[in-house]
Amino acid sequence: MFGGLLRLFFIVVVLYIAYFLFRVYRSLTRVGTKPSPPPRIEGEMVKDDVCNMYIPREEAIREVRDGREVFFCSEECRRKSRAR
């Protein structure tokens, strides 16, 4: 019985070492590659005054109130603003 547990422990240790070596190998192969730059966001961001969320101007729901342009992230925020 003790021999079986010792054999199982040995197998687990060997598998862990193999996994560790695999991770080291993968990290070494990635050293020469440059990370890709984050995607560039074009356009202007506008703020929804109801939920304080910033959204791209092209995707915002736009409304003109008292000669001032107001932007919303969703119809729900637009309804909440009208209820105020």
The per-residue pLDDT for 26 is 85
Q: Are residues 74 and 56 in the same domain?
A: yes
Contact 56, 68 (CB under 8 A): no
Residue 42: DSSP 8-state: P
Our separate counts of H helices and E strands in the chain read 2, 4
Q: Are residues 54 and 76 in the same domain?
A: yes
Contact 41, 59 (CB under 8 A): no
pTM over 0.75: no
62-78 residue pLDDT tens: 999 999 999 999 999 99
Q: Are residues 29 and 51 in the same domain?
A: no
Q: Are residues 31 and 49 in the same domain?
A: no
15-43 residue pLDDT tens: 999 999 999 888 877 766 777 888 776 78
How many distinct structural domains can be found in the chain? 2
Q: Are residues 30 and 2 in the same domain?
A: yes
pLDDT confidence bin for 1, thresholds 50/70/90: low
Strand (E) or helix (H) holding 83: helix 75-83
Q: Are residues 55 and 72 in the same domain?
A: yes
Q: Are residues 63 and 32 in the same domain?
A: no
Q: Are residues 51 and 71 in the same domain?
A: yes
